[in-house]
Amino acid sequence: MAEQLWAPWRFDYIKSADQKNAEGCIFVELPQQQDDRTNLILHRGKTAFVIMNRFPYTSGHLMVAPYRHTAEMADLSDEELLEINQLVASCLRWIKSAYQPDGFNVGVNLGKAGGAGIPTHIHWHIVPRWNGDTNFMTSVGNTRVIPQALDVAYDILKKILDEEKS
């Protein structure tokens, strides 16, 4: 008998794949709401914020985005660029504290052809990586196994941020 891998969160991703631009921009809409835990917003800065990826590549996958809606890096002010880079550095520190990864992928996918899932709003990905984290599921099954629920990851990272503030 074949084993089953349940990933119910993937259905929401599949359903929404064609609606990403039709219903607005999550990087504009979610920060306007006040439920940071539900929306996975970990930190609010002056010009940019940190949000967990709802469909992560690995546990602890974070994103940094400006509040201002733009797809172009050249449109960002020096103040926005500085804060975004400071937040990326903070994300590395927070993830290291929470997960002790062996490395990171940090980057920006510009435009649909560049791999951007939401090409209309620039955002940075901070993805922790571990030696040997590419296993048969990723290589052969084209499936990622995320070993931690998003709410658990949120609580772990939020505690680290709160402790750093105090």
- pLDDT tens across 4-43, in order? 555 665 556 545 544 444 358 999 999 999 999 999 999 9
Which amino acid, residue 55? F
Spatial distance between the Cα atoms of 96 and 25, rounded to a whole number of angstroms: 29
Task: Among 2.40.30.10, 3.90.1560.10, 3.30.428.10, 3.50.50.60, name the CATH number for the domain at 25-158.
Answer: 3.30.428.10
Q: Measuring CA to CA, which residue among 144, 152, 32 is closest to residue 99?
A: 152
Catalytic-residue membership of 43: no
Q: How far apart are the first and last CA of the chain?
A: 53
Q: Which of 43, 61, 121, 123 is catalytic?
A: 123
The Cα-based distances of 116 to 72, 95, 121, 123 in angstroms read 12, 23, 9, 9
Domain positions in the chain are 25-158
Mean pLDDT of 146-166: 88
Q: What is the pTM of this model?
A: 0.81
What does the pLDDT read at residue 148? 79
Distance, in Å, from the CA atom of 118 to the CA atom of 116, rounded to the nearest integer, reads 5
